[in-house]
Structure 1
Amino acid sequence: MTTEIQQLIDEYTSWLRAKISLRKVDDWVEITTPYLDRHNDYLQIYARRENGSYILTDDGYILHDLKQSGCDLDTPKRSALLNMTLNGFGVKLVSGNMLEVRASSEDFTSKKHSLLQAMLAINDLFYLAQPNVASLFLEDFLAWLEHNYIRYIPNVKFAGKSGYDHLFDAVIPKSRQAPERVLQAINRPDKNESQALAFSWMDTREVRKLDSKAYAFLNDSEKAVPASVIDALHSYEIEPVSWSNRAAILPELTA
């Protein structure tokens, strides 16, 4: 199992390196990644050297795009969710809309990873959050846990074998009846999100308890979850839970 997981991690990181391209733009280097945003465009970040370190930024793309789409991020609850997500990845909000990290030569790769994961998380968190939508999927997910008296720790960060940090929405501690359970809510279940979760789970699995289990809660309120997403999660031993069928999994979470 260890060799197999290590091979999968190596394949993922090799794929990531091969798909990244660089282009000089004035004083910045534009880094195009294989990660896709909600428009199926490749996510881009920008880097430059300053005072012996590096600045990495999304140049305001993620929040500007969400606001242009009518997503209101200014309510107290949504601002708190945004800040909780940014803090979890160690990303700062600069000039009101730019996501930014500072990195040294030694931690450049991990900081780049954190910025990209924050961009993906925020993009998913607020997807379809139009003014007429009363709540976000993550809000509904956490409220459901609390309504069912499920004890959990929110927004938990684990360090992976690769050296990357990974953030999970909730962790239910081990009990006498059940192992540790790691939970992730995915608002927009697609290949991009399932790959990101699979890598996070594989990378952290060996540094967690061996019997830990992972669950992906998939928003199927607007449309059915693609079978390819379900199959991909199963192949990495992540239990997919369609939101419409969430009651079926309650006994495993309350144990």
Structure 2
Amino acid sequence: MSRNLLADSYISWLKNEVSEEVIDSKVSELTTPFLDRHNDYIQVYAEQQENNSYLLTDDGYITSELRSSGVDGKGSRREELFSEILSGHGVVLEGSELQTKATSDDLGQRLHSLIQAMLSVDDMFVLSQPSIHGLFMDDVANFLEEKNVRYIARAKFSGKSGLDHLADFVIPKSKGAPERIVQVINTPRRDRVQNMLFSVSDTREARANIQFFALINDRKSKITPEIAQAFENYSVKARAWSKREELVDELAA
């Protein structure tokens, strides 16, 4: 299998599946193939401004969704995580909108970052009902700390494509093990996994001697054989959260 097959296939899929509707002479609406937790397509808006610059925004969709899910408490852990996600992707909250600015030179990268921020927030807040007391990201962090695994949370890596990818947890290399990245999958859906595997492939091309792991939340959704095979095909050691102990030795090395 060609080393670039996944990256080429992913980019081709995006190019074919993203649709653009021109709203007026300066604003376009982009509909992506990624689905939110309601199975609606993620949409972003691009507004052309002066000096060959662009404003990219979600038009307030994400914050509206958080409020409707009851996730709007000041000082809460969810709010902290929300801020961490935005900062990691270089996205800011202006009023009720998630925004980032771009030029013609980095328009694709900034669009990618905004979409990734929206997907990350949507994924982290799937379990935002009052009956759920914790967040899966925190569960993973607590697990690593309990097992004395050294890590850096939310580190950014540049891939061969030039796009940036945010790693959930990075474990520094040691005498007995290379650098490791642990990605968290809260909703094991095909589009989320495909998105992660693209980042893995793209980062691996630009960064030698690195291992990838995935911890997948299986509390509500089972991991299908198709998803498990996809991780195996791209040398990502994936485990369901219920089987997380199987990774301890490799992560703590």
Structure 1, unaligned stretches of length 5 or more? none
Tell me by how many angstroms 1:224 deviates.
1.4
What's the CA shift string for 1:36-88, capped at 9, x where partnerless? 11112111100111222100001111221132123345343222211111111
2:190: which partner in 1?
191
Seen in structure 2, the aligned counterparts of structure 1 residues 158 and 73 have a Cα distance that, compared at 3 Å, is: farther
Contact 2:188 2:221 in 1 (8 A): no
What's the CA shift string for 1:118-160, capped at 9, x where partnerless? 1111110111211221110001111111121110011010000
1:245: which partner in 2?
243
Distance 2:73 2:224 in 1: 29
Tell me by how many angstroms 1:15 deviates.
1.2
1:84: which partner in 2?
84
1:129: which partner in 2?
128
Tell me by how many angstroms 1:164 deviates.
0.3
Distance 1:51 1:196 in 2: 32
Tell me by how many angstroms 1:177 deviates.
1.1
1:36: which partner in 2?
35
1:46 aligns with 2:45: yes
Tell me by how many angstroms 1:7 deviates.
3.0
Deviates more, 1:220-229 or 1:241-250: 220-229
2:93: which partner in 1?
93
Distance 2:216 2:119 in 1: 16
Tell me by how many angstroms 1:237 deviates.
1.1
Contact 1:57 1:100 in 2 (8 A): yes
Q: Which runs of 4+ in 1 moved over 6 A?
A: none
Distance 1:203 1:220 in 2: 26
Tell me by how many angstroms 1:223 deviates.
2.8
1:159 aligns with 2:164: no
Distance 1:143 1:189 in 2: 21
TM-score, normalised by the number of residues in structure 1: 0.94
Distance 1:8 1:76 in 2: 38
Contact 1:28 1:46 in 2 (8 A): yes
Seen in structure 2, the aligned counterparts of structure 1 residues 75 and 134 have a Cα distance that, compared at 3 Å, is: farther
What's the CA shift string for 1:191-220, capped at 9, x where partnerless? 01100110000001022223x110110001
Deviates more, 1:18-27 or 1:172-181: 18-27
SS of 2:42's equivalent in the other structure is strand
Tell me by how many angstroms 1:235 deviates.
1.2
Distance 1:224 1:71 in 2: 26
Structure 2, unaligned stretches of length 5 or more? none
1:61 alignment partner AA: Y
2:69: which partner in 1?
69
Contact 2:152 2:171 in 1 (8 A): yes
TM-score, normalised by the number of residues in structure 2: 0.95
1:60 aligns with 2:66: no
2:3: which partner in 1?
5
2:220 alignment partner AA: E
Aligned length: 251
Distance 2:12 2:78 in 1: 36
2:206 alignment partner AA: V
1:179 aligns with 2:182: no
Tell me by how many angstroms 1:93 deviates.
0.7
Distance 1:71 1:230 in 2: 32
